[in-house]
Structure 1
């Protein structure tokens, strides 16, 4: 992702560091965009808070403890946290927020995500974000089922989440609303990683000069 951000942002990026240790050596950083690994977030947060650098976090697989640390850090520096910086996924979230409550009564809801065989977390952070969007828009509390096995009959108040891993799939997320004699599917397909770089740079533009707070992709479009 670092290489792709360099390519996409040639006109915007004057200087570029791709290692946490280089932050200590560079006094002229305007903003930090992180696509690294959840194991590096704690150290990165400490450095950004110390230097008062705005931070875009696009890393997934974060623990509850790390998320709490991000919330605390956002009281000192502006942070934009997103499991997926694709502008299309942001639009999909907005659609689900409006669509889910309209279909809640008569449709079963399932989420299927597909990624390459090297992806380390499942379900994807994006799938969990879509799930959270759906849950927050529904009037009732639903049980979440991750995959199915055996003779378990589907409950009425249930949302299924399924992960597929294979080949070089960049990323595909589908939300299925299955009703009686009709099906609605909403799908987003990432055809290259370039879309995440474009979105990340948009996040960076947005975050410059912002006050300390925890922001999301939704804030960009409001």
Structure 2
């Protein structure tokens, strides 16, 4: 049984994970961390990790980046692995997480979905075959109208996974309206769509002469990210110090 501390337990993702784990026989939340105590859970909730006196096998972090330093201090002191799902971390905080991974296992991924991370592996296999065949690569991502960043972190992660196969020789092109010019061969085009309540849709297009191959992933709810975080927590519990990502989980 994997014992989990859920940081950000009363946020949207924290509550999705809470509900999913009620039906899970192999993992459970033993404590939550949240400044919001309005929601009643089946486990004790503390305002900060400093107040938490309950030990666990792993921490799932879906809270804001404000309490990041407390998270790192706790993980180092208690030697508790972290599944780091928090977005919007500064460059300094990312470096701090990497330093922490020398003492305790840390898993960080741009997208916790098992489907997206499987897609990355498929794209790498496709790239090895299709680019030598003269195929161009384009990525189109769609999200709801409240999303602030464009392109999405997931779109960039997909592009990065492709570019690894290409020895990082390809440039990313986000906006072709600024210059009237023919498409460069060594570029990955990335387009962002924002509208309605689209949870997340990513399409990768390999366009060749007289044929097109498309890979597409659609997220219909945030539950897919919660399921991925739970799988990651089960994987990370008991692991040696190091920096991990979702490719290790699905591998």
**TM-score, with length taken from structure 1:** 0.92
Aligned positions, number: 222
CA contact (8 A) 1:32 1:54 kept: yes
Partner in structure 2 of residue 28 of structure 1: 54
For residue 220 of structure 1, report the CA deviation from its aligned partner.
1.5
CA contact (8 A) 2:142 2:198 kept: yes
**TM-score, with length taken from structure 2:** 0.82
Larger Rg: 2
Work out whether 1:128 is the aligned partner of 2:192: no
For residue 7 of structure 1, report the CA deviation from its aligned partner.
0.6
For residue 139 of structure 1, report the CA deviation from its aligned partner.
4.9
Partner in structure 2 of residue 163 of structure 1: 192
CA offsets per residue over residues 52-95 of structure 1, 9 Å max, x none?
A: 22100123343433222211011111111111111111110110
What is the alpha-carbon root mean square deviation over aligned residues?
1.9
CA distance in 2, matches of 1:57, 1:119: 20
CA distance in 2, matches of 1:189, 1:63: 28
Gap regions ≥5 residues in structure 1? none
* Equivalent of residue 87 in structure 1, options 114, 126, 132: 114
* Equivalent of residue 46 in structure 1, options 73, 78, 92: 73
For residue 43 of structure 1, report the CA deviation from its aligned partner.
4.2
- Taking CA–CA contacts closer than 8 Å with sequence separation of 6 or more, which of the two structures ends up with the larger relative contact order? 1
Question: SS state of the match for residue 15, structure 1?
Answer: strand
**In the superposition, relative to structure 1, how do residues 107 and 190 fare at CA in structure 2: closer, same or farther (>3 Å)?**
same
* Equivalent of residue 220 in structure 2, options 171, 174, 191: 191
CA distance in 2, matches of 1:140, 1:17: 41
CA distance in 1, matches of 2:183, 2:124: 23
The 10-residue stretch of structure 1 (165-174 or 56-65) with the greater mean CA deviation from structure 2: 56-65
The 10-residue stretch of structure 1 (108-117 or 23-32) with the greater mean CA deviation from structure 2: 23-32
